[in-house]
Structure 1
Amino acid sequence: MQLYNTLSAKERAALIEEAGKERLTISFYKYAHIENTSVFRNHLFITWNDLDVLGRIYVANEGINAQLSVPAENFEAFKKHLDSISFLENVRLNIAVEQDNKSFLKLKVKVRNKIVADGLVDETFDVTNKGVHVGAEKFNELIDDPDTVLVDMRNHYESEIGHFKNAITPDVDTFRDSLDIIEEDLKDHKEDKKLVMYCTGGIRCEKASAYYKHKGFKNVYQLEGGIIEYTRQVKDQELENKFVGKNFVFDHRRGERISEDVIANCHQCGEPCDTHVNCANEACHLLFIQCPKCAEKMNNCCSDDCKTVHELPFEEQKELRKGKTVSNKIFKKGRSPVLKFKK
């Protein structure tokens, strides 16, 4: 019985090309109490692998967090399977604004300690005691209220390319970093201000809303479905769009354009740009913003040193990488000193 992905990304991309069928990029999450995470994980993999689902799914005792793509022709079967799981019946599915058949190229279902890496050791608050969920129309009303404090619960490299107007965008590298900063900044307004939060799809806000209620905030709201669902509702209901720029997404697309505004700049030359890339040097793989001109000039690399390595024969590159471990935490996604125009 197959329980793990057996194809490389390159092999899978070729199969997708050959099939020529439309795929849907979807994300969803649900906080719930899952006792046997390994059994649940294996059940998901076996069923979804048969449906040609691809993506990155995290399962933990506190719930599930999924970003995936599924062939359009298999969507109903996929939805039927979700509905057969009690706590996932009628779960909200965020459908991507911009579709890409190659948004995911492998099926990875992993058991984690938590579905959101929050770094919290405080087990006394109930993650299901969440704030008030609001749709796009009510959200627009709330953020126009002078008694509202609007907070972006995403990291710096996400809000750098797009955010809601007048939002507080903490300059943080992790979700955990933002929790204490926001509490400290708003400690004098736990009762007189409305704390309204948003993120990509809602999962971080939901945990944050429960955390801030636990910390004494009286009026806590979150944008239901995050930026993805907001964009859909704005279009369907013909509402004013208050989001400027791109929404960063965690798949091969790296971003969905929500408005035509380009609010970021190329980290190498400073020209307006909001396209995230990974350094082509596999020993680096730094996430940063790069314009087409710099991409051509730098051979898709973040620095001259990486460009030199990337231009070496493949076997020589492998030898240089041997025995070395490089983590994104070292570079903190766009904060490398080699980038002249980083945020």
Structure 2
Amino acid sequence: MAIDVRPETAAPPEQNPNRLKKLVIIGICVIAAGSLLCLGFTPMVFSGIVQSMRDSAENAQEGCGSLGFTVDDDVKIDGLAADQLQNAATIVGVGQKMQVPPRGWVIALATALQESLLHNYTVATDHDSVGLFQQRPSSGWGNAPATATDTRTPAQRLADPSYASAKFYEKLLRQPGWNQRRLAEVAQAVQISAFPERYARWESFATLLVNRLTKGAANGVVATQGDPIRCATPGQITGAGWTVPALGQVGSGFRPPDRPSHQGVDIIVPRFTVIHAASAGIVITSKCNASTGNCDVDGGISVKGCGWYVEIAHTSGLTTRYCHMVERPLVQVGQTVVAGQPLGRVGSSGNSSGPHLHFETRVNGDAVNPIPFMAARGAPLGTRQ
């Protein structure tokens, strides 16, 4: 079994950009948190939402379950009023009826949170924008009658949460690869907003809402109401927007007693196995990181660094890292990647004694255990399915 005997992050000083990246990520998170207050959440309400998100993360099931799911109209979440929760339930319920995968529900909720905070505005205040999604009749929204006898005006139709949700999903499903792309990117393709990146800040909370309303549907892969929730395999995207980077048994774990500086887990897979992006994001690192300066050969226990590796920034201050590739990665810094996109192939470059993928997950720059992190997102590591 291949293991690393030195921490992958022990790169030569001039090649270690972690401190700067951590400051940038923390800065983004502080700005995002402040923006929630600016959007109308009082400090007390904001605290309630944050606590709900923490509780959800702590109580997230490990694995994906096998139970069917229904929308729970009676769920309570601190920080959201009854009308907001009812509107959230309507959005999810419409998605179920249309057989939209749970990833679509997360995107729809994040969009409605940004556009209206889940309040159904029946009177236009921003140009002619109305409803949960602030859709505009002048842009063509609402022109199609719901039924042959629907005589409502476009604005009246868009003020109907069920109608507005259905129209959002219809346009969402027409976007190529929508379930693998960054939430902000695909939401923007539907909405055409002046501030496209603002949708992304709601992704974690929208995932929480889906899980609370459906008892965990965002934790796995599921197609229609009543279907069992399945764990994701490479190429399958959970409702939370995550997938397994590579299928294989876990070797060295996260910070074991004999290796407390091991900041990730080692997934034991054959050389040349394709490594997939665990979630959509932007590549922030793609380079050779070895004390020898050569990543085109196998490393060893005396070599420091990750070898050929990739790091991706996701939403909400999350990053993932993929080390020891056999050759130069397939992606470049600044490139946007979709969930499941090939990043490179497994090798043994850098601080490695045999082929494997060293995989890290980080929150605001700090390493966290990838095992519960990925399990809570419906993409458990260490399985062969």
Q: Same fold (TM over 0.5)?
A: no
Say which structure, 1 or 2, has more relative contact order (CA 8 Å, 6+ apart).
2
* TM-score normalised over the length of structure 2: 0.26
* TM-score normalised over the length of structure 1: 0.28
